[in-house]
Every structure is written in C-alpha cells, then in structure tokens.
Structure 1
C-alpha cells in the first residue's frame, strides 16, 4: 500500500499547517514551537496617523495573500527619556497585538488579554513573552500595544465634541477587546471566556474597563496587578493642561489647534502631556468626566456600578522601592533624615506629620542610606498601593467574587542596577511579572522561585478558565470575604488575614487614602 493512502485508495488529507491562521481580514503566518504558537504584530486597527491622529481607532484594512506574523510590531510613540527598552523602534503606526496559543486543539481555550504597564507613557505588548502561560496554563494570551503619552491622551477641547476628547489609548484597548471577540476563535480561543488583565498602568486600565460604558460585555473576568486605582484626571484639568501643551508645541489658537496638532511631525509629540502631579511624580492617562469614562473608577466601584465579573487583584509587598530606586539611579537622589519630612510633605501634604509618626525612620535600621528610603517606600507602598488595593477589593467583592493576593518574595530577581543600591528593593513593583512572563533582564529564578512561578501560572490560568483560581500544589485561595489574602512566597504560599493590619490600612482610611 502506498503511504498516504487509505485502504480504499483515497489520499489522506494533509494536516492543516499550525503556523497558518485564516481570519476575516486575511491569512497570517506565525511561528510554531513544540509547546506553543505565536502570531506577532497583528493589526487590530488602522494606523492612527495624519487625519486619524487624536481620533478613536478606525478598523484595520484587510490584506491580500499571506501576512507574516513572526515579528512584533513597533512600539507606540514614546519619550526616549523614559524608555525602558533603550531605543527599540517606536512609531505612530503601532496598533498591533500578539497572540500566544497552546498547540492546536479542537477545544477552544480561554483567553487573557494583557494590557502592559509603563505609566501610560512607555512600554509595549512585545515585552511580555507569554509562552509559559500558553503552554503550562493552556490558555490563549493576547498582548496589546496602545497609544501612549500625548498621542494617547491629549484632551484638547478642539479635538472633538465637548466631553469626547482624550482617552484614545483607552479606546485602542477597547478596539483590541472587540478584535478578540470577533477573531480569537480563529486562533483556538473562546470568545465567551475572556479575561482582561494588566499591571501598573495596565491594571489601572482594567479598573477603567470595569466602569467604562464602551467596555461593557467585552470581557468576563478581570485581573488587576499593582495598580493604584485612584482618581484620574478630571476633564477640566486635562483640557487646561492640553491647551498649555498645544501652545508650547506651536499650536496656540484653540480654533485651529486640531489641524495644527495633526500636522505636526510625530517627534514634536514625544514628550507626554502631564495632567496631575502627585508628590514628585507627574501623571498622564485616561480622563474622567468624559463620554468614554463618565465616572472615576473608585467612585463607580464604591457605588456598585462596576461590571459584575470575578476579579483577581493584588499588590507587591514593597511596591514603591522601585520608584525610589529609579530616582536614586537616574537623578542621583540620596535621601537623608533631614529630607524625610519634606518627602512626606510633597507626597501626603498636611498629613505628613501623622505619616512620619506612623513610619519613623529609626524603625528601618540605623543606617540613613537605608532607613530613609525604606521608611518613605513603606509609607507610599501602604498609602498608595496596598490599602488602595484593599479598599478596591472590598468594594468589588460586594458585587462579584474577588480573590486578593500579595506577592511576597522579597528576594525576587531584579535587574542589575537594582542590585547595586545601598537599600534592598525586596518584592518591588513589577518584579512579580517574571514569575508569569519570560521578561528577561534579571538573574534566573531559583528552584523555589520556579516552583512559585509554576504555582502562580496555575492560579492565574485557572482563574482565566473558570473565574476561580486554583493550583494543584498550592493552598485553596478563598474569596476576599473576611480580609483573606493569598501571600505568594517561594517557601510556601499561605492564606493570611493580616494584610490590612500589616499595611496599617485603618490609619490610612482616616486620611482618606
């Protein structure tokens, strides 16, 4: 009998090429490994350039023939002065996404749409190698680029109808979610089981999607990592800052500013527009009181107006040490005991003296090179991250199941510069990401840390699949209910009810934080 023929003589059809996916927009050719597939640089919206700059994303054009999907698309336009990827290509034509899948199967897999962090001014979806989640977690992962900084969030009143300006980056994320709804089945994903997830600014975006009218019905669960879901820029403030920004780049006349801004060279718009200042930090990002985001997320959640979906939410034990470290490395800030009251005043205003009494420098050791950065970091970690997370978890849990965690590996691998400081960064902001994604740039995980990584992947992926996290080798993860948190640790994760007390959340609630 000839190979490839059945006993009846009919040829056996060749198996489909796992590297090829046919979509309504055209055919894509990705890459195939033994345990996953990747389709990179897939356009989900039209290039937002020329007349489409400062407008909601338009549909992507279809293409003829086979499109190569083997390389990540350019990062969205960003300021090279705050560039964590050291100059990799940026472009306004950047609205692409990347799809990581398990090997081909007849079964549709649940989907996680990952929104990257970067303070709404830098970063990209291409940083996050999601093959571990696809292979071990048996889920489809979509990582997304969205407009950043000025081109993503400028809220000049001349750019649209009243209240319908800014938030272009948020609209990009919604367009990506719609693309997932319409196309992910072609990649083996289940459009009926979509979790929107993100860290830092990506997690703040998830908070926005929980309350944004345009995001309704686009996802079934949410993951919020290390995201202080706090009040964002109100429209009047954002409009005034945007008018000032436009004047500074050569478009001072509000009547002609829209055409002027759309005609500027892209390099003129790399510097972000800043809406809000908190202490030494300036912030940009989504604008509230707008058509896209009518109500601030914390208020909407407190009022029970958030999407009623399961939420996995958490924070890292030492969040703010990263930001103190970056100031130390980039600006040469060397905090001293004499500077401590001023640091607290810049951050906490009239409450600074009360904060100082709760976070005295001498509690953090005798060495001022160490104790001042650690005291300041602890105060901001508790007041701006941990207790905000605790309050959000409590509010969200009144409407749907909520599972809360604290990442507590204080020896987590960190990039080289963070290992040369006079103070330890501990379980700092973003360090949990390398337990879920292969993000590189740090020493490898130890054996115990690798076990924790696998456990976290199991928890995250079962949450994406079922709305409830579980891991075969980890403790049962209860809903937040009585203040229960899962403390994620390499020597054994454990359930604790001491999170709020450890971070002094009762004190912070008296300050309105």
Structure 2
C-alpha cells in the first residue's frame, strides 16, 4: 500500500542544480532558492501556498492546493506581506495577494532527510506583522542533523477577521486568517518532505498573536489537530476578547467598517465590499481602529461555531484540546506600555489625572464585557500599595497577567492534567528588557552580538527551543535542566530565564490565585 508520506513525496522532488542554488519541484511550480555556505542554510522565500485571496475570493477560505501552474519561480526574496492595520493604502511590499511561505533548510538536506519542522506564526495582534523572521540563529543552534524552519503569511485585520451577522449570511469565511494558517499546515503535510522535512514531526510556534494562534490550533475542531502537528509552543499567548460572530459587538464593528467603506447604503453590502478596491478596504479598517480609541486590537478571532466553537478557558478546563506536548511561557513585564498607546485619555493610565476608573476603562477597552463589579474584585488581588501607588504599574500587571502570563500557565497546567509533557518559562532580563516581545531578541538575534550573561542566556534559549522541536524535550548544554510542569493547577514549576541565573522556580501562590480569578470570570470576559 502507498503510504500518505510516499504519496506526497511523489508530488515534489528536491534537486540541487548549480552551486549557490537549489530547486524544489512541486506539482504546481518549480521554486529556486539560495544555498548559503556561510550560514549553512538553504532558503526558499515567497513560495505561494494557496491561490490569491482576491476578487471573489476576498473573505473566503483559502483555495488549496494551488490550482494555477506557476512554472519556474525565483524564490530568493520574500513575497508580499499581508496588509496590516493601521495602513490606509496598499504600500509597496504589502498586498491582498499575500499567501506566501518561507522555508529554511540545512545546507545539503534532501527529500530523504526527514528533519523535524518548526512552523512559525508571527505576532502583531492579528492586525500587524509579517513572516520575515531571521531563522538563521535558531537553525544554527538546533541539535544535529538540524531542523527545517517554516514561516507563513496570513490575512490580517479586516481582511482576515471581519465578522458579524451580515458577513456570515453572505457566506464570508469567519476567521479567514486562522484558516490561512491551517492551510499553511496542510501545505507542510503535503510538501515539506521535498525540502527535507518530516511531516510527522511538525511543531507549531508563535509569539503574542502568533502564540494565541498556536493556542487556537490546539482547541480548533474540538481539539482535533488532524495530524498537522505533534507539539505546540507559545511565547506570550494572547487571551483576547472572543465574542460570538453574530454578537452586538462584532455587528457594530462590521457596520462601522461598511460605513467607512461607503457601502452602508448599498442594497447588497457584502457585494459592495467585495467589489471595493484594496485601498478602500485598508482605509476603512484603519478608520475603525481610529474610532475605537480605548481598544488596542479590534479585529481578532471570534467564536464561529465550527472551526473555533469553544473559548480557550473552557476548552482547556474541559480537556477539549489537542493532546500533544506543549512549551509555553511569558515575560515579566508583559503589560508594560500598552495603556500609554491609547489615544483616549480616559483609558490611558499614564495620564496625570488617571484614577482607578482609568484602569477599568483600559481593561474594558480590551474586554468590553468586563463588569465594574469584577474589576472591583480584582482590585483586592492587585492592591495599589503593591505597586508603589502607581496606577500605571497596577494596570499593567492586571493586563499582563490577564492577557498573557496566566494564559501560558493555563495551557501548561491543562496539558499536565492530560498526562502530556508540558514546559513553562518565565523570561526576566533586566539588561535587555522584559516587556512583551522582548524574548524575541533572545531567539531571533545572533547571540554573538551580545556579551557575558546575556550571550550565554540567548545561546541556551535557542538550544532549549530547537531541542523541543527535535525531541519535545527542551535541553541545552552547560545549563540548568528544564524540568516538566508537575502542578496541574498552577502550571508550576517553570524555568526562570535570567542572565546569569537560569534556574527552576515555583509559580507563587499569589500569582496562581490572580490567574484563577481571571479564568473564573472567563464567561463574562468572553475568553
């Protein structure tokens, strides 16, 4: 019998043609990449993985596999990034036609190499960001014989996460950006062996919204990962407001968007929006964001009833998630600086006349259904005196834990309850900063650009992450052993990633109690 892997191998062949170049022949095109003897990596950039989501395919699920024969494609530079919010026009380097992937493989890898695969989903609140990560430091830190690194573009903002009753009634695909990612994972299953990867050894990874995405893939389809990945990683997983697709909130966003796109008065609003040019759609989305002055991220995944039918807190509490090993964690100062970005002074805790009401407005801007009663209860867990009487510090700790820190603890604890290896980290770096996203410096920058304890920490982290991809067990040379989570309630212990002080630590009882509070009101917060 022809195995699934053997069948997919027939679809494509990896062949090196001349020095400095390599080709992969897929069933819809031949892609020529670059062999770099200095880095030891062969890269294929801007490889189309689905048909363009343009014209009548705007707001539709991606068409896969690609049906258009592309011939020979020069895969030496990145494809277009998806249009972000806020961006009022389609600028060079961005486009609706953006469903491209980038593949990095060790020099000399062939279709027989069967290397573990690390799939990266970028962050940016599902509104910004792109797939152009520097994979070289991670690839060079991976255990022999190496790994394959893959990154994907996915539709953002109003292009990828428009919702509402009118939208759904017109057969718009809810959570289209998430469906792009899922299609990317299907592409990996079908084609990655041709690049040297093993489709049975895929680990998904992301940061911020990208880590929120890996969380969503764990709970999608009731926890059926469809054989698309064997492990999941997340740096600062985002537990965002997740209303029903036909909620008043999302209907309001849709109506606002349609108005800014000059389609409100049309007899067929969706037909008008579909016919509008990309500049109009980009501008309308930006105006929506500018109109919601207390909200950081207006466009994000919602409950669609099929792909995402259960919210994260409920799914992880019930065990309805993919049963795979996980590695999740967060940074010390996840909540810093967010409120200061808000144009509404009533929700900006950095304003000189800020009050506890300002802190509430900041949080309610992100979770609109959070009640004042619950906020008052939260204040008892976050007494102002614990934060030097600083409303800004109090608000940032509330937001950082509710959105990012507690999410990783929740996922790690849930996986442990199900009997799977689960690893948790706490990144704390006073030298380089520990704000949201600061850990990406440690993972994507070359450690050779740093000195002393920072360099040693970054080397260890790159080894930890790639070792988990290779064997679902993070380990690094000459450093503390990272042990699995044992407490299935708190997600403890976790590894402290601190310059000169890499060590296991326990989650404090106080932090566990604060996280338990936020998750106890998940129905109210729509998380």
TM interval, shorter chain, is: 0.7 to 0.9
Quote the residue 1:21 is aligned against: 24
Does the 8 Å CA contact 1:394/1:480 hold for their aligned counterparts?
yes
Q: CA deviation at 1:466?
A: 1.3
Relative to structure 1, the CA distance from residue 505 to residue 163 in structure 2 (aligned partners, 3 Å threshold; closer, same or farther) is farther
Does the 8 Å CA contact 1:289/1:296 hold for their aligned counterparts?
no
The secondary structure found in structure 2 opposite 1:386 is helix
2:45 equivalent among 40, 43, 48: 40
Q: CA deviation at 1:477?
A: 1.6
Does the 8 Å CA contact 1:104/1:188 hold for their aligned counterparts?
no
What does the per-residue CA deviation read over 1:263-293, in whole Å, with 9 as the maximum and x for residues that have no partner? 001111121567x989643432112143221
Q: How does 1:152-163 map to 2 (within 5 A)?
A: 152-159=160-167
Does the 8 Å CA contact 2:239/2:403 hold for their aligned counterparts?
no
The answer to whether the aligner puts 1:251 opposite 2:263 as a matched pair is yes
Take 1:499 and 1:283, find their aligned partners in 2: how far apart are those partners?
33
The answer to whether the aligner puts 1:405 opposite 2:428 as a matched pair is no
Does the 8 Å CA contact 2:346/2:354 hold for their aligned counterparts?
no
Report the number of matched residues: 477
Relative to structure 1, the CA distance from residue 309 to residue 354 in structure 2 (aligned partners, 3 Å threshold; closer, same or farther) is same
Does the 8 Å CA contact 1:231/1:296 hold for their aligned counterparts?
no
Q: Which moved more, 1:478-487 or 1:332-341?
A: 332-341
* TM-score normalized with structure 1 length: 0.84
Q: Which moved more, 1:69-78 or 1:23-32?
A: 23-32
Quote the residue 1:286 is aligned against: 301
Quote the residue 2:411 is aligned against: 392
Q: Which moved more, 1:503-512 or 1:132-141?
A: 503-512
Quote the residue 2:437 is aligned against: 430
Output the aligned Cα RMSD.
Answer: 3.3
Relative to structure 1, the CA distance from residue 264 to residue 64 in structure 2 (aligned partners, 3 Å threshold; closer, same or farther) is closer
Give unmatched runs, 5+ long, in structure 1.
1-13, 413-425
Does the 8 Å CA contact 1:226/1:314 hold for their aligned counterparts?
yes
Give unmatched runs, 5+ long, in structure 2.
1-14, 364-369, 523-527
Q: CA deviation at 1:485?
A: 0.5
Q: How does 1:423-502 map to 2 (within 5 A)?
A: 426-438=433-445, 444-482=449-487, 483-502=492-511
Relative to structure 1, the CA distance from residue 359 to residue 124 in structure 2 (aligned partners, 3 Å threshold; closer, same or farther) is same
Q: Which moved more, 1:67-76 or 1:225-234?
A: 225-234
Relative to structure 1, the CA distance from residue 81 to residue 50 in structure 2 (aligned partners, 3 Å threshold; closer, same or farther) is closer
Does the 8 Å CA contact 1:44/1:179 hold for their aligned counterparts?
yes
Take 1:241 and 1:325, find their aligned partners in 2: how far apart are those partners?
23
Does the 8 Å CA contact 1:387/1:508 hold for their aligned counterparts?
no
Q: Which moved more, 1:445-454 or 1:88-97?
A: 445-454
The answer to whether the aligner puts 1:302 opposite 2:312 as a matched pair is no
Quote the residue 1:268 is aligned against: 280
Quote the residue 2:367 is aligned against: none
Q: CA deviation at 1:449?
A: 1.5
Take 1:248 and 1:351, find their aligned partners in 2: how far apart are those partners?
34
Quote the residue 1:420 is aligned against: none
The secondary structure found in structure 2 opposite 1:19 is strand
The secondary structure found in structure 2 opposite 1:281 is coil
Q: CA deviation at 1:229?
A: 3.0
The secondary structure found in structure 2 opposite 1:436 is helix
Q: CA deviation at 1:68?
A: 0.6
Relative to structure 1, the CA distance from residue 510 to residue 385 in structure 2 (aligned partners, 3 Å threshold; closer, same or farther) is closer
The answer to whether the aligner puts 1:204 opposite 2:216 as a matched pair is no
Relative to structure 1, the CA distance from residue 164 to residue 481 in structure 2 (aligned partners, 3 Å threshold; closer, same or farther) is farther
Take 1:82 and 1:391, find their aligned partners in 2: how far apart are those partners?
37
What does the per-residue CA deviation read over 1:236-267, in whole Å, with 9 as the maximum and x for residues that have no partner? 22345324422442223686222211100111
Q: Which moved more, 1:190-199 or 1:23-32?
A: 23-32
Q: Which moved more, 1:74-83 or 1:174-183?
A: 74-83
1:119 equivalent among 102, 105, 125: 125
Relative to structure 1, the CA distance from residue 224 to residue 475 in structure 2 (aligned partners, 3 Å threshold; closer, same or farther) is same
Does the 8 Å CA contact 1:26/1:67 hold for their aligned counterparts?
yes
Q: How does 1:78-477 map to 2 (within 5 A)?
A: 78-80=84-86, 89-105=93-109, 106-126=112-132, 128-137=133-142, 138-159=146-167, 165-213=173-221, 215-230=225-240, 232-237=242-247, 238-252=250-264, 256-270=268-282, 271=285, 280-324=295-339, 326-327=341-342, 335=350, 338-346=353-361, 347=363, 349-365=372-388, 371-399=390-418, 400-412=420-432, 426-438=433-445, 444-477=449-482
Take 2:28 and 2:446, find their aligned partners in 1: how far apart are those partners?
30
What does the per-residue CA deviation read over 1:346-371, in whole Å, with 9 as the maximum and x for residues that have no partner? 226334445445445554458xxxx4
Does the 8 Å CA contact 2:211/2:236 hold for their aligned counterparts?
yes
Take 1:31 and 1:325, find their aligned partners in 2: how far apart are those partners?
43
Q: CA deviation at 1:447?
A: 2.9
Does the 8 Å CA contact 1:110/1:465 hold for their aligned counterparts?
yes
What does the per-residue CA deviation read over 1:334-391, in whole Å, with 9 as the maximum and x for residues that have no partner? 725741312222226334445445445554458xxxx443332223223332223322
Take 1:64 and 1:282, find their aligned partners in 2: how far apart are those partners?
36
What does the per-residue CA deviation read over 1:71-115, in whole Å, with 9 as the maximum and x for residues that have no partner? 1111111234599xx966211010101111122235321001111
Take 1:334 and 1:287, find their aligned partners in 2: how far apart are those partners?
28
Relative to structure 1, the CA distance from residue 364 to residue 406 in structure 2 (aligned partners, 3 Å threshold; closer, same or farther) is same
Relative to structure 1, the CA distance from residue 180 to residue 331 in structure 2 (aligned partners, 3 Å threshold; closer, same or farther) is farther
The secondary structure found in structure 2 opposite 1:233 is coil
Q: CA deviation at 1:160?
A: 5.0
Does the 8 Å CA contact 1:163/1:290 hold for their aligned counterparts?
no
